[in-house]
Amino acid sequence: MKNITAPSAVAKNTATLLITCPDRKGIVAAIADFLFQHNANILHADQHQDAENNLFLMRVEWDLAGFSFDPAHFSQHFAEVSKRFNMEWQLKLSQKPLRVAIMVSQYDHCLADLLHRHKNGELVCDIPLIISNHRDTEALAKFYGVDFQYIPVTKDNKAEAEAQQFALFAKYEIDLIVLARYMQILSPDFVARFPKKIINIHHSFLPAFIGARPYHRAFERGVKLIGATSHYVSEVLDEGPIIEQGIDRISHRDQVEDLIQKGRDLERVVLSKAVRWHIESRILLYANKTVIFD
């Protein structure tokens, strides 16, 4: 079944430029002058300097109405500026929303939240595919008109299951994979195929309580705060660059079930923020860290 883009996805016609380069004088002026010379109306601009790593990072978004050339030729026009400052850069166009696949197991709270926010236009992207190793969320996917693919995973068929998943990602031209409580460890091959394109929600305040059953471990430890962490998936389990975290206070009266409920509320919010910031091109990664631009 074909998924429909959120209505607000067609409301903007902007370009967003993300830049990383060695820090030096004149970078902002050069970018502003380049855009001015090509009749760009800058809507948002934000920057960050990392003195320890001598890095300059920037996000600039502009209205494409009246822009003097086709963004398809941006590389050609921007070559002189990017070479002068030794820039690594990415250009994102609002008229080409990202295509997102969601992977989920049995817990549906994060999936339901993402689908609801997408339907309401908060997540401006396409969500054409949901993959699960259980059938628990099939009815939810059908309600939102998203293709649901059931692919069971066992220790004996993991490679075959991932091959099916890869084929679906290619078929649906997926740009971003969201693990909405998908309770399987991805293989190194899976992670290598989609660098910086897999977002996970971990039901713990990383780096504390990594792995499984963190709420039970937190309860046993007698913590006073619990949290949830969204992060990019890397080859090392639960150690990818952190995007967002949320916390809630715990009382001595709270039992494991209370921690789990509070944690699920945090997971929904933390994951949706991470996905929104990614699809809005607000994240730059460096040194296993993230910069989140306003």
- Are the C-beta atoms of residues 198 and 162 closer than 8 Å to each other? no
Task: State the pLDDT at residue 207.
Answer: 52
Give catalytic status of residue 238 as yes or no: yes
Quote the pLDDT of residue 259.
80
| Domain contains 1 | no
Judge if 86 and 110 occupy the same domain.
no
Same domain for 25 and 168, yes or no, is: no
Say if residue 41 is in the same domain as residue 147.
no
pLDDT digits (tens, 9 = 90+) for 237-288: 778 999 999 988 887 888 878 887 888 999 999 999 999 999 999 999 998 8
pLDDT digits (tens, 9 = 90+) for 102-157: 999 999 999 999 999 999 999 999 999 999 999 999 999 999 999 999 999 998 99
pTM above 0.85, yes or no: yes
Which of 63, 93, 123 is at the close of a domain? 93
| Amino acid at the residue 193 | R
Least confident of 27-36, 76-85, 120-129, 199-208: 199-208
CATH of the domain at 196: 3.40.50.170
* Cα 26 to Cα 273: distance, rounded to the nearest angstrom: 33
Q: Which of 113, 175, 238, 254 is catalytic?
A: 238
Backbone angles phi, psi at 79, to 5 degrees: -55, -40
Q: What is the pLDDT of residue 9?
A: 43
Q: Which of 8-22, 28-42, 71-85 has the lowest mean pLDDT?
A: 8-22
Determine phi and psi for 126, rounding to 5 degrees: -105, 135
Q: Do 57 and 108 belong to one domain? A: no
Look at residue 215 and tell me whether its pLDDT is greater than 70. no
Single residue among 54, 78, 93 that ends a domain in this structure: 93
Domain count, the chain: 2
Rounded Cα–Cα distance for residues 61 and 160 (Å): 42
The rounded distance, in Å, linking the Cα atoms of 169 and 142 is: 19
Which has more pLDDT, 213 or 168?
168
List of E strands, the chain? 14-22, 41-50, 55-63, 88-93, 99-104, 126-132, 147-150, 176-179, 198-202, 225-232, 242-249, 283-286, 289-292
- The DSSP call for residue 32 is H
Residue with token string 């822009």: 67
Assess whether 88 and 108 both reside in one domain: no
